[in-house]
């Protein structure tokens, strides 16, 4: 973990996203920036949290993607969810907490300590909303895996990612950068890499998506959402 300094522009997407969960005041932004100044960088494959080990202080993802993963004894791997810029790792209200899942960096990740809860009410609100969202993402993932076919799983996931990244301002020209290989996509959708490949081809030929060298574009998100019945869930009344 190397200490590095960042210009505000480099890290702002994360704070932008956090601020959308609950409106942050001047004090909260300052508390965040103080932590951002001490952000650290992790290479791909590094572990941010290890299942069964004590959860230290919560961390805030500033850039890069991480994944909550679990391995079966015979090597099967399941990615349970992604952690994107502006999202928290290891946030919990429990004292003696132990990580329930390993969190692995998928590419180079920049993160910082999350300001401790209890000091800023607005930040606590954002944490609470963030936690509720995380739960909603897990539920959506369960529905994808339990009741959707390969096409629906992939498009549903991509639409969710589009929404989440959009909130962090990480969507440009209707597309986003994703550090995902087809194998990772298989591990998150519960499919095999081969089948993911074939399904992507169908989606590409049909003009639904473009996916080239880690850049994903969805032609018509609303139409696609309509077609597969995707809904972005609210976790809070306005």
Distance CA 18, CA 96 (A): 26
> Among 55-63, 64-72, 104-112, 183-191, which window interacts with DNA (CB under 7 A)?
183-191
Among 101, 107, 113, 195, binds a second copy (CB under 8 A): 101
**x/- letters, 86..105, toward DNA (CB under 7 A):** --------------------
Residue pair 53/92 in contact (Cβ under 8 Å)? The answer is no
Is 151 among the residues that bind DNA (CB under 7 A)? yes
Strand order across the 175-177 sheet: 175-177, 215-218, 209-212
In this complex, which beta carbon is closest to a second copy, that of residue 68 or of residue 120?
68
Report the relative pairing of strands 66-71 and 77-83 from DSSP bridges: antiparallel
Task: State in angstroms the smallest separation of the CB of 171 from DNA.
Answer: 20
Q: Which of 139, 149, 220, 236 binds DNA (CB under 7 A)?
A: 149
Q: What angle do CA 154, 149, 82 make, to 5 degrees?
A: 35
Spell out, one character per residue from 51 to 90, where the chain touches a second copy: x when CB under 8 A holds, - when not: xx-x-------------x-x-xxx-xxx-xx---------
Among 1, 5, 7, 95, binds a second copy (CB under 8 A): 95
Closest to 157 measured CA to CA, from 47, 65, 48: 65
Structure-token pair, residue 118: 């209890």
Element (H, E) at 210: strand 209-212
197 binds, among a second copy, DNA, none (CB under 5 to 8 A by kind): DNA
Instruction: Report if residue 194 touches DNA, rule: CB under 7 A.
Output: yes
Among the listed ranges 23-31, 39-47, 167-175, 182-190, the one in contact with a second copy (CB under 8 A) is: 182-190
Closest listed residue to residue 161, CA positions, set 186, 187, 190, 141: 141
Between 70 and 217, name the residue whose CB sits nearer to a second copy: 70
Cα→Cα distances 149→161, 200, 228, Å: 18, 13, 10
Provide Rg for the chain, Cα atoms: 18
Binding piece for DNA, criterion CB under 7 A, among 24-32, 103-111, 157-165, 193-201: 193-201
Q: Which residues bind DNA (CB under 7 A)?
A: 149-151, 181-183, 190-195, 197-201, 213
């Amino acid at each position: 973990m190397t200490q590095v300094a960042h210009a505000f522009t480099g890290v702002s997407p994360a704070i932008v996203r956090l601020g959308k969960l609950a409106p942050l005041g001047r004090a909260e932004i300052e508390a965040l920036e103080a932590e951002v100044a001490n952000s650290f960088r992790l290479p791909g494959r590094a572990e941010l949290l290890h299942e069964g080990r004590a959860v230290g202080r919560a961390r805030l993802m500033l850039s890069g993607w991480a994944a909550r993963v679990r391995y079966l004894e015979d090597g099967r791997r399941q990615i349970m969810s992604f952690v994107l810029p502006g999202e928290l790792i290891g946030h919990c209200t429990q004292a003696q907490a132990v990580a329930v899942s390993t969190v692995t960096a998928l590419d180079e990740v920049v993160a910082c300590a999350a300001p401790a809860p209890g000091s800023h009410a607005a930040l606590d609100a954002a944490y609470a909303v963030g936690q509720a969202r995380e739960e909603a993402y897990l539920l959506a993932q369960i529905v994808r895996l339990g009741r959707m076919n390969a096409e629906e799983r992939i498009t549903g996931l991509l639409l969710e990612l589009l929404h989440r990244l959009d909130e962090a301002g990480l969507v440009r020209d209707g597309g986003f950068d994703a550090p995902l290989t087809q194998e990772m996509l298989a591990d998150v959708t519960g499919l095999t890499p081969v089948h993911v490949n074939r399904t992507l081809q169908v989606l590409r030929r049909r003009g639904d998506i473009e996916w080239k060298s880690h850049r994903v574009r969805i032609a018509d998100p609303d139409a696609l959402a309509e077609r597969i019945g995707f809904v972005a869930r609210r976790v809070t009344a306005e």
